[in-house]
Chains A and B, each alone.
Chain A
Amino acid sequence: MKQIVRPYGDTLNDGKVQLSFALPVTSDAQGKEAARVLMLSMGFEEAEITCMRDLGEGFTHFIAYGVTTAHVDTSRIRVKVVETPVMDLETTDAYIEEHLGRKITVVGACIESDAHTVGIDAIMNMKGYNHRFGLERYHGFNAINMGAQVPSEELLARARAEHADVILVSQVVTQKNIHIQNLTRLIELAEAENLRDKMLFICGGPRLTHELALELGYDAGFGPGSYATDVASFIAITLAARQGK
């Protein structure tokens, strides 16, 4: 059954949208009209510029409301998401003990030029993030966090040496889509080295989704708001299922 929806302001399907953007125009009546016309050409039926701020250097900031007639049929939306259930630390440890009977080795890193360990640390370090302990805290995991700026080659070599079950990659810097390049490079190297099918490849970062991860050839991707519990549950359940085959 079709489920047509539009943006909601204060009345169902009123189509109200809030925008904020800068234009390289002067902060005057001309500039304001330019912003309004731009919104009409974006397809908004109505456009109201509610704020105009001079940014200097010939730029102006606009805050605006538009009314859109565009709609979406939510019954037709299909998104790939990680479907394994999320378990807490104790349950995951018990699950690993029961289904695998051994520790799972995870080698993690922030690869290539990326120097920001905040993501990989949140998932792997003892401390974890926001009251969810990291993989180091689990009995069921042997967690090796290689830190930042690790070349893909080194990550793969370490994973091979440790007989890793899982490679976990974080990419925080996304300027000019560097994260896509880095993640692609790692997978290509893994394929060339015959490692791709020997372990799970998982990536995470602020601009990653499960869908994008699958597209790039990974087994799973974790975006903003993911915790160690999400990653640990996915790994445990997926490895158990694979072992069952």
Chain B
Amino acid sequence: MLKLDLDTSLVTRSRAAAQKITSDFDQLFASYSSVTIERTVLRLMGVDGATADGKPLPNLIVEQLQSSGALNRGAAIWLANAMLHTSLSAQAVAEEVAAGELDLTSLPLAEAAKVYRVLSEISDQMLAHITKQRQQREQYFKQYGSRNQPAIYVIVATGNIYEDVTQARAAAHEGADIIAVIRSTAQSLLDYVPYGATTVGFGGTYATQENFRIMRQALDEVSQQLGRYIGLTNYASGLCMPEIAAMGAIERLDLMLNDAMYGILFRDINPKRTLLDQYFSRMINAYAGIEIQTGEDNYLTTSDAIDKAYTVTASQLLNESFALKSGLKPQKMGLGHAYEINPDIEDSFSYEVAHALLTRELFPEAPIKYMPPTKFASGNIFKTHLMDAMFNFAGQLTGQGVQLLGMMTEAIHTPHLVDRSLAIENAQYIFKAVKNFSASLMLSPDSFINRRANTVLKEATEFLERVAQEGLLSAMAAGEFAEIKRPENGGKGLDGVFERDSEYYNPFMDKMKKELGL
């Protein structure tokens, strides 16, 4: 079997450095919150819906509390207090606020014990629902058998949720294991989550709770027909990470793109905001049994796949370390990497196998997410189809967890029905052809692949040790990640970060931490 001879001292050193880097943020996680974290709490308490002009009710409440200077206590206490005073449900209180008939901070605060009792009941209800969804998923896997490895992951991106359903059903019939509904391209920078079913968007349609429900229901039907559980994924990224995670937990999404640093580097979202938001969003995912996936492929779409291979490894180790702080188990960490190597390079496949094996062996329990060639995909669909085949070969040979299939029409358009079908045929053929190939092979100790993997690990270790000395925020400000400079107080969404006061309470974080052993 293909196995690397990795320098174990480098493995230990790199993990220690990653842990030192992420521990700098324990204080941030313990004493700050953000507007989207508070909106998440409101959603989990049962607040949903939007005004006629599309403003979500959780946003209205948080804005009201923010303008009265009351948000530092957290939204939960104010909403529970209003429920006590009015004897209304959380949703009914929110509707009063939306109608301009209620100012939450104008009501006198009831006895703390009473407020806490309301919060305890209401959070127990929602957590029980999320637990039920997690058990339902586990039940499906028990009934139908565990997921294929590598799992076949394809995207649908018509921009219309109902058209997406048709394409997703067709893909499932052909052999897809996981369906990703691509979001509209501008959603990551919206500081709210749109409401209701959507039939518009560019490069995809919006992540909304109703869209999640529609697609999950369709996939449940297909799963029953096929006797194979079809996973659903979306993106808990951007300015609303925890809200989207909560919506996914409620509607039983199975995976979530949920990277600790992606928003900072590739969407210019403020570093503190992103780190705080990822902390709670990943906790929700951990609680709901949702597998997270990280976005290391993005490092290679902007930088060279060989020169910058170590940045992928370094980011994986940081993502792992941050995820552990949120209570995620390694079995739910879909750390990412990508087949973005220049096809003109001699032995490009050996480089890729080295990189893929390194990821596989550094994180032996993780369902590693492998991304396809995109940077060197051109309008030559025949060549791209061939590169996708090599990518599929590498995926099966090195035992990746989730294979995000490449499309021959990458760089031309969002996938047509036929493109997706041919991609699945390509993957199924190759996965089957080399199913147990690796079992017959061994790497020579001094082979190129062994040396290459250790070189990348060494570069990643030295990089992380440098960042550990400097601090993550300074390193980002200096452009050490992805060759992009991100200052600590720059980027979008910093005004939505606030320090908690001593009376702050978030019942969901509190209970989740207890149950996750944090």
Contacts and interface: CB of A to CB of B under 8 A. Distances in A.
A127 B304 CA distance: 8
A55 B418 contact: yes
A224 B268 contact: no
Contacts of B414: 175
A224 B379 contact: yes
Contacts of A118: 301-302, 375
Given A118-B302, A130-B342, A173-B185, A61 B418 contact: yes
Interface in B195-218: 202-203
Contacts of A149: 186, 189, 267
A143 to B, nearest CB: 14
Contacts of A114: 185
A10 B422 CA distance: 27
A94 B219 CA distance: 61
Interface string B407-426: 00001111011100110010
A125 B418 contact: no
B173 interface: yes
B170 A56 contact: yes
Interface residues of B, number: 35
Interface in A192-244: 206, 224-225
Nearest to B421: A55
Interface in A47-65: 53, 55-57, 59, 61
Please indicate which of the listed interface residues A20, A147, A175 has the most CB atoms of chain B within 10 Å of its own CB: A175
B417 A175 contact: no
B174 interface: yes
A115 B186 contact: yes
A206 B377 CA distance: 11
Contacts of A148: 267
Given A55-B418, A55-B421, A224-B411, A173 B342 contact: no
Given A59-B170, A127-B483, A22 B417 contact: yes
Nearest to B186: A113
A83 B174 CA distance: 48
B378 interface: yes
Interface string B332-361: 000000000010000000000000000000
A205 to B, nearest CB: 11
Contacts of A86: none
B199 to A, nearest CB: 12
A173 B378 contact: no
A116 to B, nearest CB: 8
Contacts, number: 75
Given A121-B302, A126-B483, A173-B202, A20 B166 contact: no
Contact of A206 (B169, B202, B375, B411): B411
B375 A57 contact: no
A145 to B, nearest CB: 10
A224 B378 contact: yes
A174 interface: yes
A55 B170 contact: yes
B293 interface: no
B188 interface: yes
Most buried by B among A20, A115, A127, A225: A115
A115 B302 contact: no
B356 to A, nearest CB: 22
A16 B234 CA distance: 43
Given A55-B170, A176-B202, A113 B185 contact: yes
A178 interface: yes
A20 B422 CA distance: 11
A175 B421 contact: no
Contact of B202 (A59, A61, A178, A225): A178
B185 A225 contact: no
B239 to A, nearest CB: 12
Given A61-B422, A117-B302, A175-B202, 9 more contacts: A20-B418, A55-B418, A55-B421, A57-B173, A112-B186, A113-B184, A113-B185, A113-B186, A224-B411
Interface of A: 20-22, 53, 55-57, 59, 61, 112-118, 121, 125-127, 130, 147-149, 173-176, 178, 206, 224-225
27 contacts: A20-B418, A21-B418, A22-B417, A53-B421, A53-B425, A55-B174, A55-B417, A55-B421, A56-B173, A57-B166, A59-B417, A61-B417, A61-B421, A61-B422, A113-B185, A113-B186, A115-B186, A115-B188, A117-B302, A125-B302, A127-B302, A127-B303, A147-B268, A173-B185, A175-B203, A175-B413, A175-B414
Can you list the 9 inter-chain pairs with the closest CB atoms, starting with the nearest? A56-B173, A113-B186, A57-B170, A56-B170, A115-B185, A173-B203, A22-B418, A61-B418, A178-B202
